[in-house]
Each structure stands twice: as C-alpha cells, then as structure tokens.
Amino acid sequence: MRVIRGRLQIGKYHGALVLWASLGLFAVAGRASSFIIIPTYDSTIVKDANSAAIENAINLAIQQYENLITNTVTVKIYFEEMSGGLGASDAIPETGSYQGFYDHLVANDANPAAIAALSANGGDADTNGGINPVTGNSFIDIKTPDIRALGFTNGPDCVLTTVGAAQYGLPYLCASGSGSSAYDGVIGLNVGITYPPKVAGSTTYGLISVAEHEIDEVLGLGSALYNCTPSSAPSGTTCKADGVINANNYGYGEPMPEDLFRWSAATGGTRTLGTNCASPTSAYFSYGPSTGAIAQFNNACNGADFGDWAGNSPVRTQDAYATPNTNATIGYAEISALSAIGYNIAPEPSTWAMLLVSLVGLGIAKRRLQR
C-alpha cells in the first residue's frame, strides 16, 4: 500500500507580509557557532510506551542536519504523533521581497552552480528589477529557518493551535504568532506503521526517513502549488499556486524558493508553477537548462506535495510516496535543493559525491523510505 506523506498543505495563506532587506525592516543576523535543531516532544510521544526508541530515531535524523549544515541557525520543531497517513509538516512561510532574498542568496553563496544558473536564466534581481522569474511579481514566500540561514533575524512564527488539527489526525497545527512559545514548524509522525517502534517489514516504513522528509519541509523545501486532485483543483482542472484570488479563480501567488528551480523539461524548457490536472505535465528540479535535471517533481495532481520528488528510482527521502521497508537518509537531490535555497553544506558542494560514497560505505545512504 502506498502511504501519502507530507500531504498536509503548508499554511502559506497564514503567512504575514514581511518586507525584508529592500525596505530595511530587518537587520542581518550575526553568525553563531553551529546549526542546531531543538526538538520538543508532544505528550503523544512522551507517553508512548516506545518513546525512547521514537525519540532516538528523531534525534538521529536531526543529527544528519546538524552534521551537514553549517549556517548559524537554531531551529525549533514540535514533534507529535498522528493517527493517519505517514507523516505531515505544518509551517508558515513569510512573504518578503525577492530582491532581498536574491541579494542574500548571492551573498551567502551556498550553491554557486545554482546561483549562476539562476542569474543566467532571468533570475538576476539586479538586472530584472527584483522581479522573481517564476510568477513575475516582486515577492517570494520563504520559511523562517531559511530566512535566518540567509542572514535575516526573523524568529519562529508558528504557535500551536488545535483548530483544524483533528481532520489530519494531529494534536496541533500552526497558527501565526511569535514569542518564546513559537516554533518554526510542527511535524506529525504515524509511529504505528514505522520502525522503530515496529519491526521492519512489508508494511512498515523507516522512521528516520519519515522524520527527515518532514524536517526538509520545515527547513524550506516545498512548492507554492496547492495540493490538489482533478476534483479539488481550485480553478477547475488547473492546479495553481495558492495565492491571489481573482473572482472565482485562483491566480498565481508568490513562489517558494525551490520553485525558482522548477523546470518543465529534464533539459530545461521553461519555469513552471502549474499543471492541468486532466493531463498533468512534468516538472523537474534543475538549476537551469544547461545543468540538466537533478530529480523529477511530483507534478501529478494526486493530492501529494508538488515539492516532493516523483518517486522514480532511486528511492529518495523526499519522494512523495513511501516505499515499505526502506529507510533512506537525505542524499544528493535533497542536499542540492537545500543548498540551492541557501543552506551551506559541509563539505563543499564539489565534494558531495565523496560524501555520498562515504554514506554508502556506512550503510546509510541507499536505505530510504518513500512517500
């Protein structure tokens, strides 16, 4: 059975309007010593008879990011159990100026190849007036950990709410807020069908991989496209970004950072942020037409995340559907996407291949769970 993971739509429509950099509303953050993810565990995990094994698996997933990412950022994530599906994430992107985002992406220089391709294909804010090359407006939606990774000081913006949570089998979702009780996102995990605590088998899925998939989304991976099926597409048979509403039709809103690298063909084509659900088109994660596809996006109007991978071989952590009895960790495609949106990677991108070879040697890299 294929289990959808991450199908909970990210609450883009909750995002507050935050005009960074170009309007001078936020100062650039100072550099700290390390990348840290602080987990908070809901009582559904703490009181679980297998809480030690569950928390250990989540902590192992967290350790992958703390060893991999070098930006000076502390991320706060609330983990809880869910009763259906496999995993879900909820976070609140904030809307900011594309000019400010682009300038800090260049200054951070986490992925020179991605930046060079973006600049060469209509993405250079200094030559196109700060207009994003996907939807043609001057804004972009970005999640708070990624905002801080780029050097801004925006704090966590998710406060826990029970409103709407029950329909997803979750104790809590995110509501817009701030302060010491705020998180960067909420992650739900269905530990009733994962190992641990279950035994690996044909109907169980690796908890480390599930956790990593959802952590990727809280950190900033994902698309602005509305999760839809042919019967739920907000504008008939066309699935578009969940943004500006014109009459009874959904228009394109702002892209997410990963959408800047969303192309209609494996060898380039055009940037795309939409598909006809009656006859879905393909979309690929690529730096640009000259670099070739790194992974294929899930662009099929199947209710799963458009920012996930389509699930072609090899099995990857960010696949839209989970493959039983697999437990892959973040690999080249996920690392490429995280660095493209501003996360600095250790070692440098030129040595990613060596990193993956090392992971395979440790028996970690090719064990994966799909969505």
* Structure confidence by residue, pLDDT tens digits, 80-123: 999 999 999 999 999 999 999 999 999 999 999 999 888 887 77
Q: Report which secondary-structure segment, H or E, holds 271.
A: strand 268-271
Q: What angle do CA 234, 235, 239 make, to 5 degrees?
A: 70
Q: Label residue 38 left, alpha or beta by phi (over 0 means left) and psi (-120 to 50 means alpha).
A: beta
**271 within a domain of the structure (yes/no):** no
**257 within a domain of the structure (yes/no):** no
Report residue 59 as tokens: 């902590």
Cα distance between residue 344 and residue 16, in whole Å: 26
Q: Which domain holds residue 44?
A: 12-224+317-361
- What is the per-residue pLDDT for 236? 53
**351 within a domain of the structure (yes/no):** yes
Q: Are 289 and 268 in contact (CB under 8 A)?
A: yes
- What is the per-residue pLDDT for 237? 57
Cα distance between residue 296 and residue 286, in whole Å: 9
- CA 57 to chain centroid, in Å, comes to 20
**368 within a domain of the structure (yes/no):** no
Report residue 188 as tokens: 């739900």
Q: Which residues of 202-216 are buried (b: 16+ CB within 10 A; e: fewer)?
A: eebbbbbbbbbbbbb
Q: Label residue 82 left, alpha or beta by phi (over 0 means left) and psi (-120 to 50 means alpha).
A: beta
**370 within a domain of the structure (yes/no):** no
- What is the per-residue pLDDT for 249? 30
Low-confidence ranges of the chain (pLDDT < 70): 1-33, 125, 232-252, 312, 348-371
Q: Are 258 and 221 in contact (CB under 8 A)?
A: yes
* The model's pTM: 0.84
Domains in the chain, number: 1
- In sequence order, the β-bridge partners of residue 48 are none
Report residue 87 as tokens: 């995993």
**199 within a domain of the structure (yes/no):** yes
- What is the per-residue pLDDT for 368? 25
